[in-house]
Amino acid sequence: MTEPSQHTENHSWADLGRFWTLPNILTMSRMILVLPITWLVLNNGDLVWIMSLVVIAIATDYFDGRLARWSDSESEWGRVLDPIADKMGGGLVVAALALRGSLPLWFLGVMVVRDLTILAGGAIIRRRTGRIVASMMSGKVAVTAVALTVLAALLRADQPVLEFCLWASVVLLVWSFFRYMIRFFNILYGRVAVD
């Protein structure tokens, strides 16, 4: 049986390249936007305000990567910050919806366990190889499903619609989790290279 790589050299975060780039600032602005969105959701705030802020957050998510490629300012920091922003956004808004009773607490638990495990796996890969694992398409699909579930909850969709979105999200979250775990183990055992 192949042994995992024993390379455990500590890699400095400075190795990730430039931090203060416009794409990274856009990503961090998305993290900041999550706070008022979460507060409004938790306090049953005006839906127009919530959706307006969500649209702005989605726009930053859309443009940060494209701007990085267009301006040739892609960095490893971008690979770190973008999934953290996604997980922070999804986690806090789902937590607010769960606390106000619009989504079940167990759904929040599934998301938190999955996201923390994936972040921990990525940190191990970073420590072993000095590289950041890029987000996978399965993760993006799962995030989209969660976003639709959040939208259904915010719009107070009929129960069958909400339950369909909820269970579709769970299936995709679990599927993407196993896809990430397989990729992490393949990288650790040297079967595939880090993206």
Per-residue pLDDT of the chain (195 residues; tens, 9 = 90+): 444 544 445 554 445 567 778 888 888 999 999 999 999 999 999 999 999 999 998 888 888 777 777 877 677 777 788 888 888 989 999 999 999 999 999 999 999 999 999 999 988 988 888 777 878 899 989 999 999 999 999 999 999 999 999 999 999 999 999 999 999 988 888 766 555
Read off the CATH number of the domain in which 62 is found.
Answer: 1.20.120.1760
For residue 169, tell me if it sits in a domain.
yes
- Please tell me the distance from the alpha carbon of residue 98 to that of residue 153, in angstroms, as a whole number: 10
For residue 10, tell me if it sits in a domain.
no
Q: What is the pTM of this model?
A: 0.81
Q: Provide the number of structural domains found in the chain.
A: 1
